[in-house]
Structure 1
Amino acid sequence: MTLFKSTSLGLCLAASTLLFAHTAQAQTAKPAAPASTASVAELAKQAEGQLAAAGWLSMLDRGNWGGAYEASSQLFRNMVPIGAWMDSIPGVRAPFGAFESRTASTVVYKTTLAGRPDGEYVTAIFDAHFADKKDVEELVTTVREADGQWRVIGYQPR
């Protein structure tokens, strides 16, 4: 799975690409069913990463592009200039229409991610519904940064 592409739009989308939604549905997004082999610590990290991803997505839902950018990881901000982000993300989200609902379908914790330094990563896939596009899958990857906070490093709607 490629999370980063080289074009400005690709970087914004796929950097694979940001706290709470204007509806209660985003607040109550159901956690994905945990994998039976995950440890308690790993499940906690999955939950933390998923919560950070959902909060970041709610900023996008409200059109808070700048807030989403500022809330993203340092790695994301180093790779995607603010101008490219602000020019691209509104056009990416506009075809979806207003946010309606979102549910996490898959959440995975990893300590390695292709093309990234070793660390702690959580990738969450959300099934989202919008007014103009009912079935959107949103892939969001978060990283635990040095301050212990989970922040988005990649976003890809599909």
Structure 2
Amino acid sequence: MRRRTLLLSTATLFWSTSRAADATVEARAAAERWLALVDMGDFPGSWQQAGSMFKAAMDTERWTRSVSAVRGPLGALRQRNNPSAEVQQTLPGLPDGQYVVLTFDTVFANKASAVETVTLVKEPDGAWRVIGYFIR
């Protein structure tokens, strides 16, 4: 009986780890597509591709002004490396759900060392969409 419990626990751990890895891969791909729009200066396009919580927080004009003010002085993207990912079920101020928080080490033309944080949520249609973007 103990062996069966151990096997079941191991299988459950493997399945949940595998699901988290799948979520991370899918969320990272979605984040990279979204970041490509931001990198090209297609801020209205990035707003359009963002999640419903993002769109509810600000309209496209406000987003365009905000991201232009932050990204403009940084210059062109040079590198984006070493993404780390955290799978979360809860985040402060947000309803419970499926979230992935990605952190990238980034180099811009006018800022040699930056950290970009991209937060995504799995929306009801099953797609991962960006709901938060921060640079420090």
> TM class, shorter-chain normalised?
0.7 to 0.9
Aligned to 1:83: 61
RMSD between superposed Cα atoms in Å: 1.1
- Gap runs ≥5 in structure 1: 1-37
Instruction: Give distance in 2, aligned partners of 1:94 and 1:64.
Output: 12
- The C-alpha deviation readout for 1:64-109, integer Å capped at 9, x for no partner, is 0000000000111001122211222111101111111101331011
Instruction: Give distance in 1, aligned partners of 2:55 and 2:83.
Output: 27
Aligned to 1:68: 46
Larger-gyration structure (1/2): 2
Amino acid at match of 1:80: M
How does 1:1-80 map onto structure 2 within 5 Å? 39-80=17-58
Is residue 2:82 matched to residue 1:104? yes
Instruction: Give distance in 1, aligned partners of 2:83 and 2:67.
Output: 23
Aligned residue pair count: 121
Q: Which structure's residues are more often helix, by fraction?
A: 2
Amino acid at match of 1:156: F
Amino acid at match of 1:122: V
Aligned to 1:145: 123
Instruction: Give distance in 2, aligned partners of 1:105 and 1:55.
Output: 14
Structure 1 outlier segments of 4+, above 2 Å:
none
- The C-alpha deviation readout for 1:27-49, integer Å capped at 9, x for no partner, is xxxxxxxxxxx701111101111
Amino acid at match of 1:58: A
**Which structure carries more relative contact order (alpha carbon 8 Å, separation 6+)?**
1
- Gap runs ≥5 in structure 2: 1-15
Is residue 2:78 matched to residue 1:94? no
TM-score by length of 1: 0.73
Using the TM superposition, name which of 56-65 and 104-113 deviates more.
104-113
Q: Which structure's residues are more often strand, by fraction?
A: 2
1:104 and 1:124 in contact (8 A); partners too = no
